[in-house]
């Protein structure tokens, strides 16, 4: 009885009496003797709060976070500034501690937030229906595949190599389960090879899956690429970076049936990769096939406006093996963070931020391209991230630049062996011109040192 529990010895006695047993052990007798552990867990004893704090601080200090290193790494998660009001609101107990809103009358706060969030994501993507969020980006792609199979009764996905490697890999993992084939289409100068895509799509294709800006940062012509999907009755699924949707044509206007993506850039910190959320929007036609929670508007018995979980008949707790998805606990708090961030940015700020990213990215791209030993990996248009090639081993260059307090970018080699010399560089509003200039300088120096064989 310490810290988080309250049963005093007196309480225990009274409670055991009421139950009619003489010890708690008796209650555990339903566990057959051989299955009882019979020894303490081999874990350390409890610690005082300040000791736990010190222990975890000490671990945290062994990480080079974006406070310690200037972070040009992106690849789906970005070092955006999360406004202080996001933390202030998401840390309120009333949002932090409830369960999924199964009792709507006492969950109007959370439900209205979902409704507002759905509206925002619908606005961003240009599609009429949004859910209240999924786990994160890549698994949302896999969920879109599952939806497409259900919608088309087909089992084949045509996926651009520009789609995030984690998304492609996750899709492949899931596809083994729900038994679908995944066909990949290559890139040309950073963009999906349109001819190859058209050739790959056929009457058995459930979905064409694109990403824009794609993993190499290039802005795809989604409408043009998507034509092949339309032609063969496949769904067009578009993964996108929400932070670019203030300036880029929304997927909904490009013919997408589903637009989804990693939500982290909106109001969520990096957190070494999670928790964040995935957003998932679709056409009206798919509303009853959507995965995840959806809040809907309704009225109470007195006619007051209110919100509830709508269309629950899609979900596992009602439909069980026939559910449109197995998701239950999702990422409500993270979606709240996104909503607050979006409200804070507002209609103008959101567009301005998109413009700012494009301008600084264009500058950085030009600046880096001018560095000896650095060249562009592709010349296609980009929004907030771009790829370069280094004339020296990428890992070694990154180590050298790290010494100067800079995380220069994401090395492409593991996931794109064809770009073993490639580096993906991301820009946020936190990356100042001075930092970009310093990156250029540091990259140049590091490449030069590697070429000259100087020991680091």
Partner 1 sequence: MALTETPMQAERARTIYEKSKEGRRAAVLPSAEVPEKPLADLIPENLLRSEPPRLPEIAEPEIVRHYNRLSRRNFDLDSGFYPLGSCTMKHNPRLNERVAALPGHARLHPAQDPRRAQGALELMWLLQESLGEICGLPHVSLQPSAGSHGELAGLLLTRAYHADRGEERTKVLAPDTSHGTNPASVTMAGYEVVKVATDEVGGVEMDDLRAKLAENAGEVACLMLTNPNTLGVFDENIAEIAALIHAEGGTLYYDGANLNAVMGHSRPGDMGFDIVHVNLHKSFSQPHGGGGPGAGPIAVSDRIEPFLPRPQVVRREGSNGRGPSFDLEFERPKSIGRLRGFQGNFGVFVRSYAYILSLGGDGLSEASETAVLNANYLKARLAEGRAGARLPIAFDRHCMHEFVLSGKPMKRDLGLATLDLAKRLLDFGFHPPTVYFPLLVEEALMVEPTETETKESLDAFAEAIEKILAEAEDDPDLARNAPYTTPVRRLDEVKATRQPVVRQPL
Ligand X SMILES: Cc1ncc(COP(=O)(O)O)c(C=O)c1O
Per CB under 6 A, residues contacting ligand X are 328-329
Interface positions, 8-37, toward partner 1 (CB under 8 A): 8-12, 14-16, 18-21, 24, 26-32, 34-37
Give the integer Cα–Cα distance in Å for 269 and 278. Answer: 14
Q: What is the largest CA-CA distance in the chain?
A: 82
Stretch near partner 1 under the rule CB under 8 A, chosen from 182-190, 197-205, 292-300, 447-455: 292-300
Q: Looking at beta carbons only, is 152 or 331 nearer to ligand X?
A: 331
The answer to the question of residue 58 lying near a second copy (CB under 8 A) is no
In the block, residue with structure tokens 């566990």: 31
The answer to the question of residue 10 lying near a second copy (CB under 8 A) is no
Taking the complex as a whole, how short is the minimal distance between the CB of residue 137 and partner 1, in angstroms? Answer: 6
Give the integer Cα–Cα distance in Å for 452 and 246. Answer: 44
The answer to the question of residue 372 lying near a second copy (CB under 8 A) is no
Taking the complex as a whole, how short is the minimal distance between the CB of residue 279 and a second copy, in angstroms? Answer: 23
In the block, residue with structure tokens 């770009």: 419
CA dihedral of 91, 94, 98, 104, whole degrees rounded to 10: -140
The answer to the question of residue 8 lying near a second copy (CB under 8 A) is no
Stretch near a second copy under the rule CB under 8 A, chosen from 24-32, 84-92, 122-130, 403-411: 84-92
Stretch near partner 1 under the rule CB under 8 A, chosen from 89-97, 185-193, 196-204, 227-235: 89-97
**Residue 297: which residues within 8 A CB-CB, separation 6 or more?**
115, 305, 306, 307
Q: Which of 22, 70, 96, 419 binds partner 1 (CB under 8 A)?
A: 96
List phi, psi (to 5°) of 307: -130, 145
Q: What are 43-49's contacts with CB under 8 Å, separation 24+?
A: 46/2, 46/3
The answer to the question of residue 393 lying near partner 1 (CB under 8 A) is no
Tokens of 35: 């299955």
Find, among 205, 286, 282, the residue nearest to 251 by Cα: 282
Interface positions, 169-198, toward partner 1 (CB under 8 A): 169-170, 172-174, 176-179
| Burial (Cβ within 10 Å: 0-12, 13-18, ≥19) of residue 212 | buried
Stretch near a second copy under the rule CB under 8 A, chosen from 26-34, 90-98, 300-308, 325-333: 90-98
**Helix (H) / strand (E) containing 183:** strand 181-185
Taking the complex as a whole, how short is the minimal distance between the CB of residue 147 and partner 1, in angstroms? Answer: 11
Taking the complex as a whole, how short is the minimal distance between the CB of residue 333 and a second copy, in angstroms? Answer: 15
Q: Looking at beta carbons only, is 53 or 102 nearer to ligand X?
A: 102
Q: Looking at beta carbons only, is 160 or 334 nearer to ligand X?
A: 334
Question: Using the 8-state DSSP alphabet, how is residue 313 labeled?
Answer: G
Interface positions, 41-70, toward partner 1 (CB under 8 A): 41-53, 55-69
Q: 36 and 25 in contact (C-beta within 8 Å)?
A: no
CB atoms within 10 A of CB 380: 21
* Partner from ligand X, partner 1, a second copy, none binding residue 378, C-beta < 5-8 Å depending on class: none
Give the integer Cα–Cα distance in Å for 391 and 404. Answer: 19
Residue 262 β-bridge partners: 278
Tokens of 140: 């949302």
Mark 93-131 as b/e (b = at least 16 C-beta within 10 Å). Answer: eebeebeebeebeebbebbbbbbbbbebbbbbbbbebbb
Q: Looking at beta carbons only, is 133 or 354 nearer to a second copy?
A: 354
Q: Looking at beta carbons only, is 57 or 329 nearer to ligand X?
A: 329
Q: 209 and 138 in contact (C-beta within 8 Å)?
A: no
The answer to the question of residue 53 lying near a second copy (CB under 8 A) is yes
Stretch near partner 1 under the rule CB under 8 A, chosen from 200-208, 230-238, 349-357, 438-446: 349-357
Q: Which of 5, 6, 30, 50 binds a second copy (CB under 8 A)?
A: 50
Interface positions, 402-441, toward a second copy (CB under 8 A): 429-430
Q: By CB under 8 A, name the binding residues for a second copy.
A: 48-50, 53-54, 57, 67, 81, 83-84, 88, 91-93, 429-430
């Amino acid at each position: 009885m310490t810290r988080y529990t309250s049963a005093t010895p007196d309480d225990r006695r009274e409670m055991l009496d009421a139950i009619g047993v003489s010890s708690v052990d008796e209650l555990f007798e339903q566990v057959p003797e051989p299955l009882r552990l019979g020894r303490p867990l081999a874990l350390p004893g409890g610690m005082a709060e300040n000791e736990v704090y010190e222990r975890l601080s000490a671990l945290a200090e062994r990480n080079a976070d974006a406070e310690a290193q200037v972070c040009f790494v992106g690849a789906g998660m970005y070092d955006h500034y999360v406004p202080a009001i996001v933390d202030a609101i998401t840390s309120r107990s009333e949002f932090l501690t409830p369960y999924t809103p199964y009792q709507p009358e006492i969950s109007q706060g959370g439900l209205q937030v979902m409704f507002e969030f759905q509206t925002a994501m619908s606005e961003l993507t240009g599609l009429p229906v949004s859910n209240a969020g999924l786990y994160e980006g890549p698994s949302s792609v896999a969920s879109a595949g599952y939806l497409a199979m259900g919608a088309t009764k087909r089992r084949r996905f045509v996926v651009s190599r520009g789609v995030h490697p984690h998304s492609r890999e996750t899709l492949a993992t899931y596809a083994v389960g729900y038994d679908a084939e995944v066909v990949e289409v290559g890139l040309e100068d950073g963009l999906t090879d349109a001819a190859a895509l058209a050739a790959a799509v056929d009457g058995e294709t459930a979905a064409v899956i694109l990403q824009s800006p794609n993993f190499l940062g290039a802005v795809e012509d989604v409408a043009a690429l998507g034509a092949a999907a339309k032609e063969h009755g496949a769904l067009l699924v578009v993964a996108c970076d929400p932070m670019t949707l203030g300036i880029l044509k929304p997927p909904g206007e490009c013919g997408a049936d589903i637009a989804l993506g990693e939500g982290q850039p909106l109001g969520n910190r990096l957190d070494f990769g999670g928790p964040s959320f995935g957003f998932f929007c679709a056409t009206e036609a798919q509303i009853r096939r959507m995965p995840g929670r959806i809040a809907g508007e309704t009225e109470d018995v007195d006619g007051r406006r209110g919100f509830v979980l709508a269309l629950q008949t899609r979900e596992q707790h009602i439909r069980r093996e026939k559910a449109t998805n197995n998701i239950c606990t999702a990422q409500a708090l993270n979606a709240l963070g996104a909503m607050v961030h979006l409200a804070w940015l507002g209609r103008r700020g959101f567009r301005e931020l998109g413009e700012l990213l494009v301008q600084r990215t264009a500058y950085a791209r030009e600046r880096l391209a001018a560095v000896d030993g650095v060249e562009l990996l592709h010349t296609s248009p980009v929004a907030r991230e771009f790829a370069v090639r280094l004339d020296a081993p990428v890992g070694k260059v990154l180590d050298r630049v790290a010494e100067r307090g800079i995380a220069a970018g994401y090395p492409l080699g593991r996931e794109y062996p064809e770009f073993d010399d490639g580096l993906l560089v991301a820009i946020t509003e936190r990356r100042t011109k001075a930092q970009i200039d310093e990156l250029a300088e540091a990259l140049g120096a590091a490449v030069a040192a590697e070429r000259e064989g100087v020991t680091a």
